[in-house]
Structure 1
Amino acid sequence: MRFITSDRGSATLLLAAAALALILAATPLGPGLLAARDLHLPVDFTGLHLTVEHLISDGLLAIFFLLIAIELRHELTHGDLANPRAAIVPAAAAFGGVALPAAVYLAFTGGGEASGGWPIPTATDIAFALGLLALLGRGLPSRVRAFLLGLAILDDLIAILLIAVVFPKNLQPLLLLPAAALLGVFLLVARLTPRRPGVRLTALVVLGVLVWYFTALSGVHATLAGVALGLVLPAGLAGRTDRALQPVSRGLILPIFAFSASLIRLEDVSGETFGPAFWGVAVGLPVGKLVGIMVATTIAVALVGRTSPSRLTPQEIVAVGLVAGVGFTVSLLMAQLAFGEGMLGTSTTLGVLIGSAISIVLSAVFVPLIARRSRQAQEALVPQP
């Protein structure tokens, strides 16, 4: 259990799930797995038209976004981001790490049909990036992880806003009214002092599912229901929810989503697959993230001053920029939302996998070197007997 909930364990499971999906898709099992993923669920009477893939990306992933919202709220109220001065530099880095990958993607795709996928390379996979840093950055000071955590959380906040604004389909805003009303009831029940905790838990689960249901009906991506539920949970209950669901999210939900999203139809892969959309993502993630974070952080530090609480060396900024290039979970979700299946969907999914793989390889080469220099610098500061 400790391995699953650790940064390293989570990253390992994600990578293994994606690799297994790519391998199995190329075997005789591939067509059967794809058919199972695309299986239509008999729930049309609810007004929802869901496949197994939708259940994973819209349903299970809502729990992942609920946990992101809990972490975001904690960081904004009690963590490093609660200090406005400390938040300036990671906020600037997050903005640079979103803006430049989007610009790189648009430079490759121009104004064509593929340009609608510009949000895809803007996301950082918080679980994978932290796991990669933990695996490769032994000896880096704790401020590096804190900076990456703040950057990734703000990056996820931007991703949530992009999903809400850029990717709604068949929007029916009136259906958000019952979702909002049920969210209010959820908040009231969550704040009650329970005489029977089991009854309150059951009520919260039912209310949460109903908020998700009406959000899905409205055309807004249903994972945003998880965000709303996570933001309104009282601090104590939010902490208990996070501890209870993190093993489920890291050990089950994220690997299942990575496996599902990485299943690629071989008949969809051709020379056209490796077109502008593919290169926009494959270059935008490793290069756009690194350069965007480095430039934005350097400018922010120059404006705030070297006395900023977020003081990193140039080498440490490079380490953060390298691991932040792993888009993975949210980027794969955005690729699905932007293009679904077909050539562009396959192109951008491959772009996410290849771009993230490039970031992993570059991190494996350079982050240990940066960590070694950091250890040597810290040892040099220790007084010799």
Structure 2
Amino acid sequence: MLYRIVIVPIRELSESGKLSGLLLLLATIISLLISNSAWGNAYLHFWENPLGWAPLEKTLAHWVDDGLMVIFFFAVGLEIKREVLYGELTDVRQALLPTLAAVGGVAVPAGIYLLFNVGTAAGHGWAVPTATDIAFSLGILSLLGDKVPFGLRVFLTALAIIDDLIAVLIIALFYTAELHTTYLLIAGGLFGVLILLNRLKVSWLPLYFLLGLALWFFVLKSGVHATIAGVLLALTIPTDAIEKLEAALHKPISYLILPIFALANTAIVVSAESVQELLSPLGLGIGLGLLLGKPLGIFGVTWLSVKAGVASLPERVTWVKMLGLGFTAGIGFTMAIFIANLSFTDPGRIDLAKIAVIVGSLVAALLGLLVLHLAHQAEESAAAKLAAAAEAAP
């Protein structure tokens, strides 16, 4: 009885890809509820407890962002490499449309944010609304089942991977602290050794991971964000090991690392004042960047590309469905919250940015579901009318 009532539904959710998104949502809700309860202060202080020893003493929250999330970025790097080598990004012409759409989906949200915040102390947060959460976005599409054409799923997957690549580049280029040349040179040397191992077809993965750990340390100490080490290591992993590693990392990342990240990074005290602050330039820049900037950027660039004859829409994908996908891509969550942590030092700004990300992502998800559902209903209605007309014809 327990197996049928509990285990089977959980397994089905896991196989459909919905469970990871639901766990992230559940972790966020739990964290927000505890933060705003009688245990709130203890919970907030828990994440600020120091752990480790010099030169690696950090708070628990920092260990999550600078340690656990390196594994997440390692998986992102593996996915980027796989898609470029033999996935959706192998064919340049096939990859062109999602690449252009991803660029539009980064540029327009950044522009909307700067429209509200350029020249202010919050201007540094322009990259927060540019990110797409691939797990949440694909999870939303999976809720609609076969109502979403396969071509739209493939397009969103390719777009989100390119979006992740852009986010990695943004973090490396614009969210780097003061550089320490010695550490940076050592990190560069280690990366060179890893590339050489790959070129020599060395396949013993423990050696890559040992050097990768050293790479993480020196990247961390260099001033470049530590998560970049995860991506660099992934790019040197032997090709024949990529799929095996991705399969091994999927469950720990989806069901442990990302929920812990959500718990640590949504420990936010929500007050009437903070809700009102959503209408401040910072709140509007992030919220509207995700909610309007993403669909405008993705849909607009896609429309221009198709009309210019540069590319064509995927099979069975209509313009209305492309608009629905644009809203779905406005779910920033994981990466957006991560960039918010890098963008600001003031705790109030960080919390406001996170609340804006959560609200903007939630509304974008609901609008994406609604538009895609209505598009499918319209198609079914049109098909039914055509069938009825065919039957009525002599």
Q: Distance in 1 between matches of 2:242 and 2:195?
A: 12
- 1:30 maps to 40
CA-to-aligned-CA distance 1:118-162 (integer Å, 9 cap, x gap): 000000001110111111353221100011011111111111111
CA shift in 2, pair 1:306/1:186, >3 Å: closer
2:241 alignment partner AA: L
1:80 is paired with a residue of what secondary structure? coil
CA shift, 1:90, in A, is 0.8
- 1:358 maps to 363
Q: How does 1:245-260 map to 2 (within 5 A)?
A: 245-260=249-264
Q: How does 1:1-385 map to 2 (within 5 A)?
A: 3-4=13-14, 6-44=16-54, 47-136=55-144, 138-187=146-195, 200-266=204-270, 270=274, 273-274=277-278, 275-304=280-309, 307=312, 312-374=317-379
Q: Distance in 1 between matches of 2:16 and 2:184?
A: 36
CA shift, 1:170, in A, is 2.1
State the TM-score, normalized to the length of structure 2.
0.88
Q: Distance in 1 between matches of 2:275 and 2:153?
A: 40
Q: Distance in 2 between matches of 1:117 and 1:310?
A: 37
Contact kept, 8 Å, 2:305 with 2:311, in 1: the verdict is no
2:27 alignment partner AA: A
CA shift, 1:265, in A, is 3.5
1:82 is paired with a residue of what secondary structure? coil
1:293 alignment partner AA: I
Q: Distance in 2 between matches of 1:42 and 1:8?
A: 35
1:28 is paired with a residue of what secondary structure? coil
CA shift, 1:74, in A, is 1.4
CA shift in 2, pair 1:107/1:189, >3 Å: same
Q: Distance in 1 between matches of 2:79 and 2:380?
A: 30
- 2:3 maps to none
Q: Which runs of 5+ in 2 are unaligned?
A: 1-10
CA shift in 2, pair 1:202/1:70, >3 Å: closer
Q: Distance in 1 between matches of 2:384 and 2:56?
A: 60
2:47 alignment partner AA: R
2:90 alignment partner AA: A
Contact kept, 8 Å, 2:179 with 2:223, in 1: the verdict is yes
Q: Which runs of 5+ in 1 are unaligned?
A: 195-199
CA shift, 1:212, in A, is 0.7
CA-to-aligned-CA distance 1:254-305 (integer Å, 9 cap, x gap): 1111121111135795477432111110111011101111111101111235
CA shift in 2, pair 1:192/1:87, >3 Å: closer
CA shift, 1:378, in A, is 7.3
Contact kept, 8 Å, 1:11 with 1:127, in 2: the verdict is yes
Contact kept, 8 Å, 1:268 with 1:343, in 2: the verdict is no
CA-to-aligned-CA distance 1:155-193 (integer Å, 9 cap, x gap): 111111110011111211331222233334445556656
Q: Distance in 2 between matches of 1:379 and 1:210?
A: 62
- 149-158 or 359-368: bigger deviation: 359-368
Q: Distance in 2 between matches of 1:227 and 1:379?
A: 49
CA shift, 1:37, in A, is 0.6
Q: Provide the alpha-carbon RMSD of the alignment.
A: 2.6
Contact kept, 8 Å, 2:16 with 2:142, in 1: the verdict is no
Identity of paired residues, percent? 36
- 1:197 maps to none
Q: Distance in 1 between matches of 2:311 and 2:372?
A: 23
Q: Distance in 2 between matches of 1:359 and 1:258?
A: 19
State the TM-score, normalized to the length of structure 1.
0.90
2:132 is paired with a residue of what secondary structure? coil
CA shift, 1:102, in A, is 0.6
Q: Distance in 1 between matches of 2:226 and 2:67?
A: 7
